[in-house]
Amino acid sequence: MSFDVFWSKRDQLHIILQMKKMIALGFEGSANKIAVGVVTLDGTILSNPRHTYITPPGQGFLPRETAQHHLQHILPLIKSALKTAQITPNEIDCLCYTKGPGMGAPLQVAAMVVRILSQLWKKPIVAVNHCVAHIEMGRIVTGAIDPVVLYVSGGNTQLAKKGELFIDLPYVVKGMDVSFSGILSYIEATAVEKLKNNECTPADLCYSLQETVFAMLVEITERAMAHCDTKDILIVGGVGCNERLQDMMRTMCSERGGRLFATDERYCIDNGAMIAYTGLLAYAHGTSTALEESTFTQRFRTDEVHAIWREKESVCQLT
């Protein structure tokens, strides 16, 4: 090995070690959860507190009320995150926040707080795509290298666990596309008659809905595996922690000689750590967001993001 090459490798190693020591504070507030996370570049989660806005049964969360909830809990969460991580603002390298997608008013809370802290603490800002953050969190937690990713966002219901009778519901898959249009209408118009006649229970309807939708997702995921010639699957997003979905996907993967990578509610459900980690990846590769550009948007496609940290020539690949 030449002298120049030796120093080149040593310098790269030094850069890697320095980067691994970097710390980010992340803010997630795109929906009904406000969360703050502290993460290092090697994926070590130092703290990850969050608070969920819970509405009365049968009611959804509205933007204004959700934003008010986030404003009420954001400062206590910041203090808790820093205390648990045992760090001070001086040790933070960058501040990361969810730019989108999500609900406008809740997103605004995190963007506003990050702007204020950036000026108070003299720290750079990194805007993060919520969906990309879910994926990166899943990869670092599970160790998945290059999987097909199924991102399933939304809520879960416990009634489905009590269901026993399967009721046929509309099943529409066209290539890699699925259509859920008409399923709930069908349940309301047709299946409810079965309830009136005591032919099924509400739990049976939830069970049937879950089984039908998940079967559609498993089908298109298997098709994606064939197209990409890969055997590994990573499930992310709020629904990703659903045990039934994981069981169905695991069965399909095993039949193809593949592996399923999935996490629990700590990392599948919206959290601050996923924003901090993804933002830190971007920051470590020279990406930051100017104060005047630290905006938010309800629509932010995943394929709009330039994941510079995933480029093969990146020095981080040496890790």
In tens, the pLDDT along 70-102 reads 999 999 999 999 999 999 999 999 999 999 999
pLDDT tens figures, 170-217: 999 999 999 998 898 888 887 778 888 888 888 999 999 999 999 999
pLDDT (0 to 100) of residue 32: 94
Q: Do residues 212 and 125 touch, judged by C-beta distance below 8 A?
A: no
What 144-149 contacts at long range (C-beta under 8 Å, 24+ apart), as own/partner pairs, is: 144/232, 144/234, 144/261, 145/232, 146/230, 146/232, 147/230, 147/232, 147/233, 147/234, 147/261, 148/221, 148/224, 148/225, 148/228, 148/230, 148/232, 148/233, 148/234, 149/233, 149/234, 149/235, 149/236
Q: Do domains 3-143+268-318 and 148-265 have the same CATH topology?
A: yes
pLDDT (0 to 100) of residue 1: 42
pLDDT (0 to 100) of residue 123: 98
How far apart CA 23 and CA 30 sit, in angstroms, is 22
What kind of architecture, by CATH, is found in domain 3-143+268-318? 2-Layer Sandwich (3.30)
Q: Do residues 109 and 67 touch, judged by C-beta distance below 8 A?
A: yes
Query: In the CATH hierarchy, which fold is given to the domain comprising 148-265?
Result: Nucleotidyltransferase; domain 5 (3.30.420)
Angle subtended by helix axes 130-142 and 272-284, to nearest 10: 90
100 CB-side CA count, 13 A: 16
For the chain, give the longest Cα–Cα distance.
84
pLDDT (0 to 100) of residue 312: 64
pLDDT (0 to 100) of residue 154: 78
How far apart CA 71 and CA 76 sit, in angstroms, is 10
Q: Is 6 helix (H, G, I), strand (E, B) or coil?
A: helix
The residue extents of the domains of the chain are 3-143+268-318, 148-265
Torsion of CA 115, 118, 121, 124, to 10 degrees: 170
CA distances to 97, 101, 132, 307 from 302, rounded to whole Å, are 16, 9, 6, 10
How far apart CA 46 and CA 193 sit, in angstroms, is 52
Q: Is 136 exposed, middle or buried (0-12, 13-18, 19+ CB in 10 A)?
A: buried
Those residues of the chain that have pLDDT short of 70 are 1-20, 156-157, 312-319
- Residue where the block lists tokens 């079965």: 194
